[in-house]
Every structure is written in structure tokens, then in C-alpha cells.
């Protein structure tokens, strides 16, 4: 079933992503081209407050041209452990620190054209502090109930895979 | 909170994706660059058999360099309605036809760098038929229980956002 790489051409190396186009040999001996985006990987944090609210941030996303509501998330620095990144991104975007981070799942966002992986963590026992966003990052902090999360999915303000996945995981744990 | 586009440069136009780099003005007046992948959008289908199994396909994904297990999915053709695409992709990859498709959720896979949206549908009442994969597509059909789906998430064979989201949605509906 494997596709054998015949050649690989790097088209663009950016700050965040790299684009390459590979020529591959298919299982039937034919050839095809594959457009591949490489990405450093990311973490996302499902942080639950003591009064059972999910910590989310509202931010503008240029690829979508609009503002959406997401769980805190961010890219891995080179060599950074995902769990360390989870603590760092949670504090940068929301100010919250926490002692424990539980791994929920790791997932590829777009396996057809990208190698981006997101490691989803869950935490509670949050300690409030001051947010420290990156200089090109503007986020608004919100705390939502499970019903509000469902409404935001229905209204389309929550509309990204990692956040919908986190809301579903939260609903599943709320029922056990 | 918005970012105003100052300039936009198309770096690459491929078969599936286009890469552009935009210069933007941030809310604080500074400028930043944004690497943006545009994608035609896609559908994914959570198809449940009469004996309560999820229809999945095993396929090689070049960006990951390995074979993974996913729900049937595929890109929208130009101008194609997502629900029409859902029927088409389900039949192409699995041979199944069905009369109804229920929209579950639509989500952006990577809002930080891509505009790809996946429309997730759910169906049952499946009618078996012959698969018609694209000429560069090689997939192996499987039917899994909810427990097997959970095991495949834990073993990492199910490892993409749309499929994990579908398994969580399936577990949520199984409990209601």
C-alpha cells in the first residue's frame, strides 16, 4: 500500500510551514505527485475551571478572515516537549498556570496534505495569573459552560477541529 | 482584533493546495507575515452499519509516511455541494450507498495556517456495492465496533482529527 518517494522538491520554507512536492511511485507502479506541508506540531489545552467552565480564547485567524473561539493552543518550539509547550501556551494565552497536564489524544489535522500533529491535553486546578501573549497575538479570554460550548458550535463561532474534539471529550467525561 | 491585508503573494498553485504569504497590519499597528494554505474543502462520513459498526478505511498517507485508519473522506469538486460529495466519496471509497446524510459539524482543520474545512456527515441504512477508488487511491475497508475504535485511537492507528471527532460523536450518541 506504500508510496515510494522518487523525488522531492522544496517549494517554500517559511517561518511556520514548509511546502514540498514529492513524486511518488504508487502500489500499481504508476506515478503521482503529492503536495506536502510540513509543520513543527502543536499542542492544545482543554482547561477546566473549578466551576466547570472551559477556558477558551477568541482570536482573529487570517486564513479564515474572521474571529473564532478556540481552546488555547500553539506551536512547539524546536526540541520542546509537548507537555512543556502545553503549560507555556496556556500561561501565555490565558495567564493560567496549573500543576498537572493529562494527555487526552494526539491527532494529525490534515493527513492528506500536512504532517501537523496536535497534542491535546486536559487540566484543572487552575491558578490565575497574567497572560503573556506573543507580540503578534491578540486574544480575548472567555470561560464557557458545556451548554454554551454546544451553542457556540451550533452558531459556528467554535468551528475548528481541536476545539470541537475537546468539547466532545469534555461532554463524554461529564457523563461518566 | 482584525488583521488588515497589506499585500498578498501567491507562492505556489498546486493540484490540491495553494500557498500564499500575506503581509498584515496588526491591531497594534505593527506588521507581520502570515503563511496561508488554501484548500477546496472536504467531507468526511461517519457511516454506521446495521450491526453498529463504523465503516473505516486503511490507507497510506504520504505526509505521515505511514498507513492510518480513517473514516471515508475526500475533497470537494469545484462547485460541488458537500452532501453530494459525502455520497460520492462514501461510494467511491467503500462501495456503500445510502439514502440519508445528516450533517454533524463542520470544522476548520488548521485555522492557524490553512482554510481547509471538513464537513462531517453521519449516515446509516447502508447498501453494499462496489468501491470505485480514484486511480491514485488504494484503500482497505474495515468495520469496527466502538470498543475497537477506542483501541485504535489508543494504539495510534486512528490518529487524525476528523476520525477521532467522529468516534467521540458516535460514543456521545451511543450514550443518549
Domain span at residue A85?
42-175
Mean pLDDT, range A146-175, rounded to an integer? 95
pLDDT in tens, A15-57: 999 999 999 999 999 999 999 999 999 999 999 999 999 999 9
- Do B163 and B110 lie in a common domain? yes
Give every residue of chain B whose pLDDT is below 50, as ranges: none
- Do B55 and B132 lie in a common domain? yes
- Do B23 and B87 lie in a common domain? no
Number of domains within chain A: 2
- Do B146 and B81 lie in a common domain? yes
pLDDT in tens, B105-145: 999 999 999 999 999 999 999 999 999 888 888 899 999 99
- Kindly tell me the sign of the dihedral angle through the C-alpha atoms of A90, B160, A173, B104: positive
Chain B interface includes A16 (CB < 8 A): yes
Q: Record the cell numbers describing residue A114, joined without a space.
A: 500536512
- Do A67 and A100 lie in a common domain? yes
Tell me the sheet residues that pair with B66. Answer: B61
Q: What is the dihedral of CA B130, B131, B132, B137, to 10 degrees?
A: -160
- Do A67 and A111 lie in a common domain? yes
C-alpha–C-alpha distance, residues A17 and A2, integer Å: 25
- Do A19 and A54 lie in a common domain? no
Query: What distance in Å separates residue A128's CA from the closest CA in chain B?
Result: 23
Q: Record the cell numbers describing residue B172, joined without a space.
A: 456521545
C-alpha–C-alpha distance, residues A95 and B67, integer Å: 39
- Do B77 and B154 lie in a common domain? yes
B81 is an active site residue = no
- Cβ neighbors of A14 (< 8 A, separation 6 or more) are B21, B35
Query: What distance in Å separates residue A97's CA from the closest CA in chain B?
Result: 24
CATH number of the CATH domain containing B69: 3.90.79.10
- Do B167 and B152 lie in a common domain? yes
- Do B47 and B34 lie in a common domain? no
- Do B84 and B32 lie in a common domain? no
- Do A78 and A135 lie in a common domain? yes
Amino acid at each position: 500500500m506504500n508510496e515510494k518517494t522518487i523525488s522531492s522538491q522544496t517549494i517554500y520554507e517559511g517561518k511556520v510551514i514548509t511546502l514540498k512536492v514529492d513524486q511518488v511511485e504508487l502500489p500499481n507502479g504508476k506515478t503521482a505527485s503529492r503536495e506536502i506541508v510540513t509543520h513543527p506540531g502543536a499542542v492544545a489545552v482543554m482547561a477546566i475551571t473549578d466551576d466547570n467552565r472551559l477556558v477558551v480564547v477568541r482570536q482573529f485567524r487570517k486564513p479564515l478572515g474572521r474571529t473564532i473561539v478556540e481552546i488555547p493552543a500553539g506551536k512547539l518550539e524546536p526540541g520542546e516537549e509537548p507537555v512543556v509547550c502545553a503549560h507555556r501556551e496556556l500561561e501565555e494565552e490565558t495567564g493560567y498556570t496549573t500543576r498537572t497536564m493529562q494527555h487526552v489524544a494526539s491527532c494529525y489535522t490534515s493527513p492528506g496534505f500536512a504532517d501537523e500533529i496536535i497534542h491535546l491535553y486536559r487540566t484543572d486546578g487552575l491558578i490565575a495569573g497574567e497572560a503573556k501573549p506573543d507580540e503578534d497575538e491578540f486574544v480575548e479570554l472567555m470561560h464557557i459552560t458545556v451548554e454554551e460550548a454546544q451553542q457556540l458550535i451550533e452558531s459556528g463561532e467554535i468551528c475548528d477541529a481541536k476545539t470541537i474534539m475537546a468539547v466532545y471529550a469534555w461532554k463524554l467525561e461529564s457523563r461518566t
